[in-house]
A and B are shown apart, each in its own frame.
Chain A
Amino acid sequence: MDLLGPNPAFDLYSEDFPIMSNASTRPPAFVGRDGDVDDCLVANGVQVYGKAKHSILSVDAYVGEHATVVDSVLLPGAVVKNGAHVVRAILGENSVVEENVNLGSVDSTKDTAVIGNDVVVGKGE
């Protein structure tokens, strides 16, 4: 999260200090016609059809139509389906938040919601 916002203390884009990593074979990130991405780090393979704000979207993360993701970290392959709302959460690899589910709370006194890898969050859970 410290990497977001203007002029973070650690510059990911410094030419003098490139960050070496393994490389994905995924296409560039796609922002849909009604997609809205604000203050986010967005990796390759990401698809955003809804709204993402102040969040980290890792490789192949997916934000469906009318879904919102705020103040969250989506690990590789995490899926937020249409109409779901995710606030202050960490979604594990290949986890799924089902349609129209609300996850997490704006209340910063509560713990951050953490969803494990491959976990599917349905309604009423």
Chain B
Amino acid sequence: MPFLGRYRLVDFPLSNMVNAGLRTVGMVMPYNYRSIIDHVGSGKDWNLDRKNGGLFVLPGSAFGTSRTGARFLLRDLVHNKVFFTRSKSDYVIFSTANFVYNMDLNELYDAHVASGADVTVLTKQASGNDADVTGFELDGSRVNGVKHGVSFGDTAFLDCFVISRQLLLDMFDWYAATDYLDLFEAMANDYGRVNVQAYNFDGYAAAVFNKKSYYRSNMDALDPRINAELFPEGRFIKTKAHDTSPAKFEVGSHVTNSLVSAGCRIFGNVGDSILGRNVIVESGATIRGSVVMQDCVIKSGARVENAIVDRNNLVPAGTELRGTPEDVLVKEKGRE
């Protein structure tokens, strides 16, 4: 899923892992894995093209991750047991690609080792209601229940946790009969035995599960403070490299409060928006409060307002794509 112009959501967890020093990363593939392979390739852009360790592409089950609420489907993990048995590492860090944040995962790992917990989950106080986010019920910092959906003030799961490799392999045996469940659902009756500790992340983190949260999290990045948290000095978010020229702001263009990716050519007006690579905004065209993905062309006189325009769209001259901040218009992917 493209995010913030030049990124994809997966760049964030993948970069967090690599920046924390992880050198062996397995990725469980969705049913349709063309675009993810196209993006990560051999893992070269994350320095994961290695002889020892590196990036491992792990098959996922056909309807695995698409089931609502399942983040770490046991079947997907058990299916790839050999990846874990062959490893010599003591610990495994798991993450989905549903959250955007930039964090030194060593903090999570250090907390895990220091507390002696069996599992340490990365959490954050929910700042609003979100039916797609997993919540934890806590006793102190110890997890004693899991639920789907969070409301304001709940402990939201950032879909990232640490576990010892040996315990993970043991769990494969314990929960073999319920492999259609998410790991944390399978653990539901076991929170007395398995010590799961929550580690609170107090930086910026956004869930990206639907149109609304996708739009909001993109717009969040226009706030310089949030932008600085997502892209701090020395902890870069890495992504697939492209040969794109710098963006060109032509004579007479007018751009305010926007993120503009390389390769864009802007003749018209852009405000409060995010432009992907190689977007062309012709003179007299206006983009406001929108996310316009790569290779789109906004023709002269066209107007795009409060919209998400997927890649390769051509917005014809003089036409309009208009949503409202509450109900953003989505223009599906255009023709390749």
A116 CB–B CB distance under 8 Å: no
Partner of A43, one of B243, B246, B250, B275: B246
Chain A interface residue count, Cβ-Cβ cutoff 8 angstroms = 33
Q: Given A13-B263, A27-B237, A37-B255, are A44 and B249 also a contact pair (CB < 8 Å)?
A: no
Q: Are B227 and A5 in contact (CB under 8 A)?
A: no
Partner of A25, one of B5, B239, B245, B254: B239
Q: Given A28-B4, A28-B6, are A42 and B260 also a contact pair (CB < 8 Å)?
A: yes
Complex interface: chain A residues within 8 A of B286 (CB)? none
Q: Given A42-B247, A44-B262, are A23 and B236 also a contact pair (CB < 8 Å)?
A: no
Chain A interface mostly helix, strand, loop or mixed? loop
Partner of A19, one of B238, B245, B278: B245
Taken residue by residue from 212 to 245, chain B's Cβ proximity to chain A (1 for < 8 Å, 0 otherwise) reads as: 0000000000101001001100001111011101
B298 to nearest A CB, angstroms?
Answer: 16
Interface-central residue, B230, B245, B263, by most chain A CB under 10 Å = B245
Interface positions of B from 250 to 288, Cβ below 8 Å from A? 250-263, 265, 274-275, 278
Chain B interface mostly helix, strand, loop or mixed? loop
Q: Given A5-B251, A38-B253, are A30 and B258 also a contact pair (CB < 8 Å)?
A: yes
Q: Are B243 and A19 in contact (CB under 8 A)?
A: yes
Q: Are A41 and B251 in contact (CB under 8 A)?
A: no
Q: Are B259 and A43 in contact (CB under 8 A)?
A: no
B248 CB–A CB distance under 8 Å: yes
A75 to nearest B CB, angstroms?
Answer: 13
User: How many angstroms from the CA of A21 to the CA of B241 in the assembled complex?
Assistant: 10
A6 CB–B CB distance under 8 Å: yes
Q: Are B238 and A27 in contact (CB under 8 A)?
A: no
Complex interface: chain A residues within 8 A of B262 (CB)? 28-29, 43-44
Q: Given A13-B265, A19-B245, A42-B260, are A27 and B231 also a contact pair (CB < 8 Å)?
A: yes
Chain B interface residue count, Cβ-Cβ cutoff 8 angstroms = 40
Complex interface: chain A residues within 8 A of B242 (CB)? 23
Complex interface: chain A residues within 8 A of B274 (CB)? 28
A91 CB–B CB distance under 8 Å: no
Complex interface: chain A residues within 8 A of B231 (CB)? 26-27
A87 CB–B CB distance under 8 Å: no
User: How many angstroms from the CA of A6 to the CA of B265 in the assembled complex?
Assistant: 11
Partner of B260, one of A5, A18, A31, A38: A31
A20 CB–B CB distance under 8 Å: yes
* 8 sample A-B contacts, Cβ–Cβ < 8 Å, listed by A number: A23-B242, A28-B275, A30-B258, A31-B256, A37-B249, A39-B251, A40-B249, A44-B246
Q: Which 3 A-B pairs have the closest CB atoms?
A: A23-B241, A12-B245, A28-B5
